[in-house]
Amino acid sequence: MDYLLFWGFGLIAAAVLLMVVDIFIPTLGVLTLSAIVVAVVGVICLFNYNTTFGLIGTGLVLIGGPVLGFVGLQIMPYTPIGRKMVLGADEDDQDRAPPAMDANAKLLGAEGEVVSDLRPVGIIKINGEKYDALSEGTLIRAGSKVKVVSIVDGVMLRVRALS
């Protein structure tokens, strides 16, 4: 009857392993369901061996499982695999600006013509391209010449009227 003891604890260990594998392989819960079934069968084996071992197995599954899961979720973001799984900016992405920001940064100091009245927001044309623009608080009429003085939030050009 010692084989029931080994099978019981072995199946509980296999259930833990299945849960860990389910984290890394998307199976839509198939491995999770399998882990639950394997854990229940393991506890049944332990109860068939001895009631004391059955209660120990039940405690491991019902108390130890959630505690280990909680601790694992707390530790996971600090592991290399966890950092790849958790949404967040990569180290490379933090230094890289979106393409629109890079393109607009090149326009700093450029001169253009107002297409639609800037009250204070409107459209300007620089080198044949149209851009959203923001005046420095004054109304600038269509056809006026403007100069880009800054970039707002990386996408909006702040302009000043040229005299």
Q: pLDDT band for position 84 (50/70/90)?
A: confident
pLDDT tens by residue, 34-83: 999 999 999 999 999 999 999 999 999 999 888 887 887 788 788 777 77
Which residues on adjacent β-strands are paired with residue 140? 118
Say if residues 76 and 82 touch (Cβ distance below 8 Å): yes
Q: Tokens for 32, please give them.
A: 């999770």
| E strand intervals along the chain | 111-114, 121-126, 129-135, 145-152, 156-161
pLDDT digits (tens, 9 = 90+) for 129-155: 999 999 987 899 999 999 999 988 878
Nearest Cα residue to 54 out of 19, 11, 15: 11
Nearest to 162 by CA among 150, 148, 151: 148
- Enter the pTM of the model: 0.50
| CA separation, residue 95 to residues 59, 77, 98 (Å) | 49, 21, 10
CB atoms closer than 10 angstroms to residue 124: 28
